[in-house]
Chains A and B, each alone.
Chain A
Amino acid sequence: MAQRAPEADFRTRLQEWIPKLVLSPSLAAMLVFVYGFIALTIYLSVSDSKMLPSYDLVGFENYAKLWNLSAWWTAVVNLLIFSSLYIGICTAIGLTLAILLDQKIRGEGILRPIYLYPMALSFIVTGTAWKWIMDPGIGIENTMHLWGWASFEFNWIKDRDMAIYTVVIAAVWQTSGFVMAMFLAGLRGIDNEILKAAQIDGASNWSLYRRIVIPLLRPAFLSAFVILAHLAVKSYDLIIALTGGGPGRATELPATFMYSYTFTRNSMGIGAASAVIMLMTIAAIMTPYLYAELKEKK
């Protein structure tokens, strides 16, 4: 019988452990700071925390209170309006620009980066810029008056009913170029032979896009939707810089609601409950998407 290898084998076993050791700090950080904290926030949302965390359970009282607050309802309705318009308009502009840019446009190399640069900016910068541009006193309205269009009116940012749409404008400005880039990548990824086949089959320009190209962009639509939806739910900085949640509370979103109830109104339990609802919203959007992406990968 052959002899056993004496070193069977410390090094091999060490080599098996090193990868896990290397991964472990990140894993621990993630488990504590992400999932542990999520668990803690969920716990706080069913506790009677006010100014400071408290660990006495009160059941779903905070959730009941939350859904009875008109401010929360305003935030939720605003989020619905904002996210549907934001996603819809960004997708429409992004798709249009991508298709137009894909027509062998001279100067594409200049236009593309111009469409996309806002994505590199902080939402605070975007908010600051648009705040003054849409300010009736010194912004667009003033400019139009100076250019001789005396009846021009654009004071949405001061109007309780319209202010949320100014948020949409600024957010679309920031992100639509990115959506364009996603669609453009999708268009460039389409197999040329399919398009040639369709042209030989006699498809007109319009039907080529409607019947072949746009259906093939399905993955790009899906990615765009998921990215935009999660950005919408997380929108916080833009509101702070652009409207500060105002006029009044007219442009509060769940993210700003959570912050003010937790840290300035001493209702940590309610704030935690609103954060949990935000997380669940994003989980509902992201989980199936990530699951599908990971599965596909295998």
Chain B
Amino acid sequence: MGFLDIQNVTKSYGSVEVLHRVDIEVQEGEFLVLVGPSGCGKSTLLNMIAGLESITSGDISIKGRVVNGVHPSKRNIAMVFQSYALYPNMTVGQNMTFGLEMHGTPKAERDRALKDVAKLLQIENLLDRKPGQLSGGQRQRVAMGRALVRDPDVFLFDEPLSNLDAKLRVDMRTEIKKLHEKLKTTIVYVTHDQIEAMTLSTRIAVMYQGYVQQLGTPKEIYDTPANVYVATFMGSPAMNVLPAKVVMHEGVPYAQIKDAGGVEKLLKFSQANMSDWSGKEILLGIRPESITDPDGADRNSNNIVPFRNRIGVTEPAGADTFVTMELGGIDIVARMRADANVGAGQEFDFAINMDKAVAFDPKTEERIKP
């Protein structure tokens, strides 16, 4: 049993079920990120853990105590909101200690906790200001401070970085990560940003249409996505998913694909059990970084397939150059080294790392497991 247990939890509004049988066990000190597009149910799930929304069926328990129906303030949780939700009429200090005050903590103790947290977050000089006088990043810190002061069992974060500008977002992301590594707190963190999910989490739950599509470590999610949705949602640019046919050649399975010129080409699978799909259509998933110029190919791979194709468009992006080309009848993206010598319309020799390719059943869109 986990530290935070979500067992068979569903949520319905009237007759509409918006969250379907969610099962997640969070261990103490874990950083769980719920990620998905808007409307996937991630915020609903977070609010249910917080007690801000009721649980239709199933149980949520924290530290072995079922908290269904328990008032949010009695779950020993703290929450950081997207808008920070700082009380505009109180100073930073009052904001941070309001929760302790409500719980009847004596003044001296409140002040001590406030001082510790303010020091930790380096906001000691802001304590007498009103939220209106703070910058976005400072408000963000105060919101986190308010949660930390409570010293709760579980921290809940609801898209806490989405109101910050791009640079500040990256800084704060690092800071949250550091904080977690230092304090070893248990965190459930909601975001729609897959990069935040990858960088911060110890585990990720990818959610879509009210279902947890996959629950796993960032590496599992990235390398072995459970289905086409997870594969394309996680990673930027998105994984290329193209239709292919499995053919056998000298007893080895190959993916047969039309190149930009309409010529059928063969890519050798690393996954032996693909021979079961011989003669059938599949969806082949290849991440952009697995299609490179030969010099950029992964040296540790056992199965680099050379592949000549006509380049559509090149997009230099500084650190890398992205190449768009036609493969299997759709546009796919490849990732070159920045100084790869490529130009639009040119025939070019690519290297495809088939070790990293994944195959999906076109009917269920589930990954075909090796």
**Which residues of A are at the interface with B, using a C-beta cutoff of 8 A?**
2-5, 7-9, 11-13, 15
Contacts and interface: CB of A to CB of B under 8 A. Distances in A.
B311 to A, nearest CB: 41
B5 A9 contact: no
Contacts of A9: 69-71, 74
B327 to A, nearest CB: 43
Nearest to B67: A5
Interface residues of B, number: 14
A11 B66 CA distance: 16
A178 B235 CA distance: 58
B77 to A, nearest CB: 13
Interface in B56-73: 59, 61, 64-71
Contact of B74 (A4, A11, A13): A11
Question: In terms of DSSP, what is the predominant structure of the interface of chain A?
Answer: mixed
Interface string B1-43: 1000100000000000000000000000000000000000000
A3 B64 CA distance: 7
A108 B44 CA distance: 51
A2 B61 contact: yes
A13 B51 CA distance: 12
Contacts of A13: 69
Nearest to B7: A2
Contact of B69 (A2, A3, A12): A12
Nearest to B1: A2
7 contacts: A2-B1, A2-B64, A7-B70, A7-B74, A8-B68, A9-B69, A9-B71
Shortest 7 CB-CB distances between A and B: which pairs? A2-B61, A8-B69, A12-B71, A5-B70, A2-B66, A9-B70, A2-B64
Contacts of A2: 1, 5, 59, 61, 64-66
Interface of B: 1, 5, 51, 59, 61, 64-71, 74
B19 to A, nearest CB: 20
A5 B71 CA distance: 11
B66 A15 contact: no
B27 to A, nearest CB: 15
A9 B66 CA distance: 11
A85 to B, nearest CB: 48
A15 B71 contact: yes
Question: Which one of B51, B61, B64, B69 has the highest number of Cβ atoms from chain A below 10 Å of its Cβ?
Answer: B69
A295 to B, nearest CB: 19
A2 B64 CA distance: 5
Contacts of B59: 2
A3 B74 contact: no
A8 B1 CA distance: 21
Contact of A12 (B5, B61, B65, B70): B70
Nearest to A10: B71
A240 to B, nearest CB: 47
Nearest to A3: B65
Contacts of B67: 5, 8
A9 B74 CA distance: 10
A9 B1 CA distance: 24
Contacts of A8: 66-70
Given A2-B5, A2-B59, A11 B71 contact: yes
Contacts of B61: 2
Contacts of A12: 51, 69-71
Contact of A5 (B1, B5, B66): B66
Nearest to B71: A12
Contacts of A7: 70, 74
Contact of A3 (B51, B66, B70): B66
Contact of B65 (A5, A11, A15): A5
Given A9-B69, A11-B74, 20 more contacts: A2-B1, A2-B59, A2-B64, A2-B66, A3-B64, A4-B66, A5-B65, A5-B66, A5-B67, A5-B68, A5-B70, A5-B74, A8-B67, A8-B68, A8-B69, A8-B70, A9-B71, A12-B51, A12-B69, A15-B71
